Amino acid sequence: MQNLNITRHLTPIQQLCIIFGGLTQILGWSFFNIACLIFLIFASPNGKLFETSTKEWDTVEGVIQKIEPTTIKKKRKRVYRITSIYLYKGKTYENIYHIRGNKFNIGQSITIKVNPNYPNESTVLDVNKSFLDRSIALFSLVFSIPGTVIILISAKKNKKSRDLLLYGHLTRGKIKEKQQTNQTFTINNVRYPVYKYVFEFEYMGKTYETHVKTHKTSELDEEREKILFNPHDPSENVLYDSIPAAPRLDEQGNFVFDKKSYRNLILPFLGIGTFVFWVLPALFYIFGID
How does pLDDT run across 185-200, given as a tens digit for each residue? Answer: 887 788 888 889 899 9
Distance CA 67, CA 18 (A): 55
pLDDT given for residue 285 in this prediction: 62
63: confidence class by pLDDT, cuts 50, 70, 90: very high
How far apart (Å, rounded) are the C-alpha atoms in residues 264 and 59?
A: 43
The share of the chain scoring above pLDDT 70, in percent, equals 84
Task: Report the sign of the C-alpha dihedral through residues 265, 267, 272, 278, in that order.
Answer: positive
**Regarding predicted confidence, which is higher, 13 or 289?**
13
Q: Which residue in 134, 122, 137, 132 sits closest to 38, CA to CA?
A: 137
Average pLDDT over residues 85-109: 88
DSSP H helices, 168-246, are none
Where in the chain are all domains bearing CATH 2.40.50?
A: 54-120
Q: Is the pLDDT of residue 3 over 50?
A: no
Q: So what's the pLDDT on residue 126?
A: 54
pLDDT of residue 77: 79
The shares of helix, strand and coil residues in the chain, as percent rounded to the nearest 5, are 35, 35, 25
Average pLDDT over residues 245-266: 86
Coil, helix or strand at residue 153: helix
- Among 160, 149, 89, 151, smallest CA distance to 118 is for 89
What's the Cα-to-Cα distance from 144 to each of 23, 36, 130, 192, rounded to whole Å? 17, 8, 21, 29
Q: Which of 34-38, 54-58, 155-159, 166-170 has the highest mean pLDDT?
A: 155-159
Does the pLDDT value for residue 108 go beyond 80? yes
Fold entry, domain 54-120: OB fold (Dihydrolipoamide Acetyltransferase, E2P) (2.40.50)
| pTM over the 0.75 mark | no
Which tens digits make up the pLDDT trace of 164-175?
Answer: 998 889 899 998
CA-based end-to-end distance of the chain: 63
Dist CA 153 CA 157 (whole Å) = 6
The H-or-E segment that residue 200 falls in is strand 190-203
Name which of 95, 137, 103 is nearest 288 in CA terms.
Answer: 137
